[in-house]
Amino acid sequence: MYSLAVRLFTLAPKNALSFATGQAARLKLPKPLADLSCRGFAAVFRLNMDEASAPLSAYATIEDLFTRSLKPGLRPISSPICSPADGFLARSGPIQAGEAIQAKGLPYAAADLIFGATAPETVKAQDFAWYQTIYLAPHNYHRVHAPFSGRVTKVTHFPGELWPVNGPFVARVPRLFSRNERLVFSFDLSLGGKAYVVMVGAFNVGRMVTPLAPDVVTNNGRRQGNEQPSFTTFEPARDVAIGDEIGTFMLGSTVVIVYDHAAISGINLLRAQDNRPILMGQTLCTRQS
Kindly list the catalytic residues.
Answer: 86, 145, 253
Give burial (CB, 10 Å; 0-12/13-18/19+) of 60: middle
Are 197 and 187 in contact by the 8 Å Cβ rule? The answer is: yes
Spatial strand order in the sheet of 276-278: 230-240, 150-158, 182-189, 194-200, 253-260, 128-136, 87-94, 276-278
Looking only at the bridges linking them, the beta strands covering 99-103 and 182-189 are: unpaired
Are 251 and 179 in contact by the 8 Å Cβ rule? The answer is: no
Q: Nearest Cα to 87, choosing from 242, 277, 223, 255? A: 277
Q: How many residues does the chain have?
A: 289
Helix residue spans in 46-180 (DSSP H): 62-66, 110-115, 167-170, 176-179
Phi first, then psi, for residue 276 (nearest 5°) are: -75, 140
Cross-strand partners of 196: 186, 258
10 Å Cβ neighbour count for 198? 23
